[in-house]
Structure 1
Amino acid sequence: MTIAIDARLIGASATGDSTYWAGLVFGLSQLSDSFRLLLISNQPKPSDLPNDERFVWRRLPGSNSRWWSYVSFPLFARREGADVIHTQYSLSPLAGRRGITTIHDVSFLIGPEWFKPRDRFLLSRTVPAAARRAAAVITVSETSKGEIERLIPAAKGRVTATPLAAATWIKRVEEEEARRTVKNDFGLEGEFLLTVSTRWPRKNMKLAVDAVLGMDRGVPLALTGKAGWDGTEGGGRIRALGYVTNEQLCALYSTASAYLCPSWHEGFGLPLLEAFRCGCPVITSSGGALPEVAGDAAIVLPPDKPGPWTQAIQELLSNSSKMAQMRECGFRREAEFSWRKTAETTLNVYRQVAGK
């Protein structure tokens, strides 16, 4: 069986979409099954690609992203004998009945106001069309599966949930080293709270900011990721750090007193697993699949009012035994997820579509 994937995001800046491809490829490398994986991209082969004789990197030049996605990529994959053509979100008609698309969530249908008009228009056209024409749809949680089948009825019966895992490079950093890094690089000492996200409206960063500013104790909130367009301001106790390196992010997770995830909606919630792996207690919203991912390892609150968040943060920071208990619960919960499991379920979908 020959599998072709759109590999342009492999090796790109760490986002949920790029982490998905990199993690899936890593998981496939752990399986002993017989297959050929064609990784097709307009970018050079990344140096950290798993060394696996079943993996073939094919560079397909092209600067027009839409033409590459809808014409160049599927035609090239078919010429290479692909039994399965796997993309994210969009899917060309040229993929035929061998096409599979991964849709992480349909938040653009659930909360259109969270998106710019142009983005909302493009997503509302490309994603439902991809779901309708795909031989199979992959998503990342049972919550997202239910939402996709409810909001795109044509996809019902063809959606499979393949939960994700934390990025392979996420590692807990020894406390002394981690505290030295966050002090030297960001001027953070002692207690601080952390949230990791581009500040789009869907991420609801204002709730985290308001919750922290409502606290009696002056604990700062560190925000990583680019500014976005939600109007969240930095300054004072709110520390906007911008993009951080992988090493810096691991140090932040490893020293933060708690991780806050106030999103209105998420299809999965990778940062929860990242925080769990690094021993950081998590307070998350009940938006989308976040409770599904959190299990019993996090404090789960509605995303609409900062007051309960302020109270939960203050109570957690004043209870060291509760923090230790949450760290242990987080370690156990994170260990339930693996890219091998993701790859096994995905490979079953590939076989169903390929008839092999």
Structure 2
Amino acid sequence: MKIGFDVSQTGAGKAGCGFFAAALLSALAEVDTTSQYVLYPAFGDFFREPHPEKCLDPAGSRFHQGPRFRRFWDQKHFFRQPPEDFEARLGHPDIVHANNFFCPTGLTRARLVYTLYDLSFLVEPAWTTEGNRTGCFDGLFRAATQADTVLSISQYSRDHFLRIFPHYPKERIVVAPLASRFKPDGPQERPKAAAQLQPDGFWLCVGTIEPRKNHERLFAAYAAWRRETGGTMPLVLAGGKGWLMDDVARTVAELGIAEHLVFTGYVTDAELAWLYASCHAFLYPSLFEGFGLPVLEAMSLGAAVITSDTTSLPEVAGDAAVLVDPLDVAGLTAAMTMLAGNDALRVSLRQRALTRAELFSWEKTARIVADTYARVLGLPPAWGEVRRGTLPCMYPHRG
């Protein structure tokens, strides 16, 4: 079997899609020892990897590089208007696995496997940019009408997808959950921005500052916790600055907490591991998640977690976290107060977190994906002639 695998977001500075693709491919390299892989550092028409040479490229004769392009326009043209030798230039794959929201057209022989992350861009326009929303929806719609199999990172995302696209054959959607890349005995390094922080002496939140992550209510809850309890622990925010930093500066100034926040910026894996393992508790009151990987990562390093009771987060956290309504600032404040004042509860949560995190592993997920590859090759194409563009039909071939 030859698998064409999208690694287009696995370079330096990778985020959600890139972490999934990189971790999955590394695990597949161990689990699937017979297949050949063609890796695509350039994939699709609305994202260009800034440093394609830094994309994941496992060693060994089973891994080969797919096409590269000198200009983004050349990449766009190749994928928007696939040439007659499209699959040949892709390396004659049996399967093409798309991992960055883009869904290719023009495949006639290869089966198409599409990774589904989330549909947040359909829920609230303010959660993303217009360009990103348009690109993501275009890929998702094409997948709903052309993918032979959809790999969903959570049961929640699977169910959400089927509510939006009820025509898609549900037996062709497979849940392949994420896993943590951290181990309790792995390398850890204190970030320079955290030089003055003491272990167990700070709250932690991880993720890009953007509306969906609900930082505004988190800041309000943190300010209320300080005001109501006299607590002094700083709040550390690790991750990219996002596009709302001017609003953040204004908000924290109005709340009077600016000097009690620590922004680390983008951190290395070892630095992030130290933050997870050393925080008093991990706070993640996100409004919407397709999976919520930071919650699982925090739990895998024994952090006590407070997170939202919505979307996929209860599916990940189980009984190993304090769940709150992300719209309820008072409820989040109360949860922080409870954890700050109850060491026994925090110790219990830390123990439960480690146990819960062990249920997820990239080896398990890689086996699910490898089995899916084999299964999809044994099935007829889900969409018959539709994918070749010869039939303007949105309904699958069932025969």
Query: Could you say which residue in structure 2 is the equivalent of 1:281?
Result: 304
Task: Give, in whole Å, the separation in 2 of the partners of 1:295 and 1:265.
Answer: 17
Amino acid at match of 2:198: E
CA deviation profile, 1:240-259 (whole Å, cap 9, x unmatched)? 22112222111111111111
Query: Could you say which residue in structure 1 is the equivalent of 2:133?
Result: 120
Task: Give, in whole Å, the separation in 1 of the partners of 2:216 and 2:3.
Answer: 42
Q: How does 1:190-339 map to 2 (within 5 A)?
A: 191-215=201-225, 216=229, 217-230=231-244, 231-233=247-249, 235-339=258-362
CA deviation profile, 1:94-142 (whole Å, cap 9, x unmatched)? 1346222112011111223322333323333332122211111111001
Aligned with 1:189 (options 190, 195, 198): 198
| Contact preservation (8 Å) 2:298, 2:305 | yes
SS of the residue corresponding to residue 345 of structure 1 reads: helix
Deviation, 1:160, is: 1.4
Aligned with 1:104 (options 112, 117, 140): 117
Task: Give, in whole Å, the separation in 1 of the partners of 2:376 and 2:265.
Answer: 42
TM-score with structure 2 length normalisation?
0.80
Query: Could you say which residue in structure 2 is the equivalent of 1:140?
Result: 153
Deviation, 1:44, is: 5.4
Task: Give, in whole Å, the separation in 1 of the partners of 2:351 and 2:68.
Answer: 46
When residues 330 and 81 of structure 1 are mapped into structure 2, their CA distance, relative to the original with a 3 A threshold, is same
When residues 129 and 76 of structure 1 are mapped into structure 2, their CA distance, relative to the original with a 3 A threshold, is closer
Deviation, 1:48, is: 6.7
Deviation, 1:21, is: 0.6
User: Gaps spanning 5+ residues in structure 1: where?
Assistant: none
| Contact preservation (8 Å) 1:106, 1:147 | yes
When residues 297 and 93 of structure 1 are mapped into structure 2, their CA distance, relative to the original with a 3 A threshold, is same
| Contact preservation (8 Å) 1:173, 1:250 | no
| Contact preservation (8 Å) 1:74, 1:85 | no
Moved more, 184-193 or 284-293: 184-193
Aligned residues: 351
SS of the residue corresponding to residue 315 of structure 1 reads: helix
When residues 71 and 256 of structure 1 are mapped into structure 2, their CA distance, relative to the original with a 3 A threshold, is farther
| Contact preservation (8 Å) 1:193, 1:257 | yes
Amino acid at match of 1:54: R
Aligned with 1:87 (options 57, 81, 98): 98
SS of the residue corresponding to residue 167 of structure 2 reads: helix
Structure 1 or 2, whichever has the larger Rg, is: 2
When residues 73 and 10 of structure 1 are mapped into structure 2, their CA distance, relative to the original with a 3 A threshold, is farther
SS of the residue corresponding to residue 289 of structure 2 reads: coil
Aligned residues: percent identity?
30
Deviation, 1:154, is: 3.2
When residues 19 and 161 of structure 1 are mapped into structure 2, their CA distance, relative to the original with a 3 A threshold, is same
Amino acid at match of 1:227: K
Q: How does 1:12-31 map to 2 (within 5 A)?
A: 12-31=12-31
| Contact preservation (8 Å) 1:3, 1:85 | yes
When residues 32 and 201 of structure 1 are mapped into structure 2, their CA distance, relative to the original with a 3 A threshold, is closer
SS of the residue corresponding to residue 260 of structure 1 reads: strand
Query: Could you say which residue in structure 1 is the equivalent of 2:6?
Result: 6
Query: Could you say which residue in structure 1 is the equivalent of 2:395?
Result: none
Amino acid at match of 2:69: P
Moved more, 201-210 or 65-74: 65-74
When residues 147 and 174 of structure 1 are mapped into structure 2, their CA distance, relative to the original with a 3 A threshold, is closer
TM-score with structure 1 length normalisation?
0.90
Deviation, 1:192, is: 0.6
Moved more, 46-55 or 5-14: 46-55
SS of the residue corresponding to residue 123 of structure 1 reads: helix
Aligned with 2:178 (options 160, 164, 167): 164
| Contact preservation (8 Å) 2:41, 2:55 | no
Deviation, 1:11, is: 3.2
Deviation, 1:333, is: 0.8
| Contact preservation (8 Å) 1:3, 1:82 | yes
SS of the residue corresponding to residue 372 of structure 2 reads: helix
When residues 75 and 108 of structure 1 are mapped into structure 2, their CA distance, relative to the original with a 3 A threshold, is farther
| Contact preservation (8 Å) 2:4, 2:40 | yes
Deviation, 1:84, is: 0.5
CA deviation profile, 1:314-353 (whole Å, cap 9, x unmatched)? 1112111211111111111111111111111112221233
